[in-house]
Amino acid sequence: MTHINKIAIQGVEGSFHDAVAQSYFNKNINIHCCSTFDELVNSILNKDSHQGVMAIENSIAGSIIPNYALIDQNNLQIVGEYYYQIQHSLLALPGQNIKEIFEVHSHPMALLQCKDFFLKHPHIKLVESDDTADSAREIYKKTIYKRAAIASNVAAELYNLNILEESIQTINNNVTRFVIVQKESPLKIVNYNKVALKFILDHKRGSLATVLNVMSDCKLNLTKIQSLPIIETPGKYSFFVDVTFDSSTYFEKAQSILEIMALEVKVLGKYSNGKN
């Protein structure tokens, strides 16, 4: 039986996915922590969770391409989005300073986003892990000295760690876009001004340009385009796009034309623009 207020996230309590879930849902929710995005998706498909929160792109590192594929292949529906300002801190057990730290563990994306900071501390070895907050929790649970984690200030509070340095990300304007996904599309979608869709085109010159012109002519604003190769058909690509508009009638007009032009058109979600 589906738990209406159970939200699946990738990571543990104190992770950025957890922070987004708490901020997005303005009500009491139960968090279901998943170690991977595949586990998160299975939680929704098996009706262990009602919805899930998935990171989809970052302003520094770009698109999280495997998550596009997961949403498409499992026929999940995007019902919302949330832009979250990422602030990375360096956390360790109390009583240490950065000169005493010889390893830092965190998610590969967090390590990448803080690369310039660690150029100033060449004695520190960077180690990839599955989750930012879980790296912090491991230090706390196992009482590991001489190791630090890149995670949020919330994780520092949860796991009784000291903040050695705050805001160590290379670029301060570090924003991640998260999407809210669920198994079924809402019965009635009203007041939506953004759509995520996928289309496949004939592999011939000018086909993509023609589709983009249709979107422009129908007054759609293209905010994202991402291509993924179709593994079963070498040389062909799926295009994942996000469009915004002032009226849903603009999108409906464009959709009717695209369904004639494209080999396949699939709506991945209709929702309100989260606005960065």
Q: Delimit the CATH 3.30.70.260 region(s) of the chain.
A: 194-271
**Bridge partner list, 103:** 125, 147
Contact 267, 202 (CB under 8 A): no
Class of domain 6-85+174-182: alpha beta
Helix (H) or strand (E) holding 41: helix 37-45
Q: Which of 2-6, 46-50, 75-79, 146-150 has the lowest mean pLDDT?
A: 2-6
Q: Delimit the CATH 3.40.190.10 region(s) of the chain.
A: 6-85+174-182, 89-165
Share of the chain above pLDDT 70, in %: 98
d(CA 102, CA 99): 8
Tens of pLDDT, residue by residue over 236-251, are: 889 999 999 999 999 9
d(CA 12, CA 152): 12
pLDDT-derived band of residue 3, with 50, 70 and 90 as boundaries? low
What is the model's pLDDT at position 1?
39
d(CA 61, CA 109): 7
Tens of pLDDT, residue by residue over 59-98, are: 877 888 899 999 999 999 999 999 999 999 999 999 999 9
Residue appearing with tokens 């760690």: 161
Is pLDDT above 90 for 155? yes
CATH node for 89-165:
3.40.190.10
CATH superfamily of 194-271: ACT domain (3.30.70.260)
Helix (H) or strand (E) holding 34: strand 30-34
d(CA 175, CA 173): 6
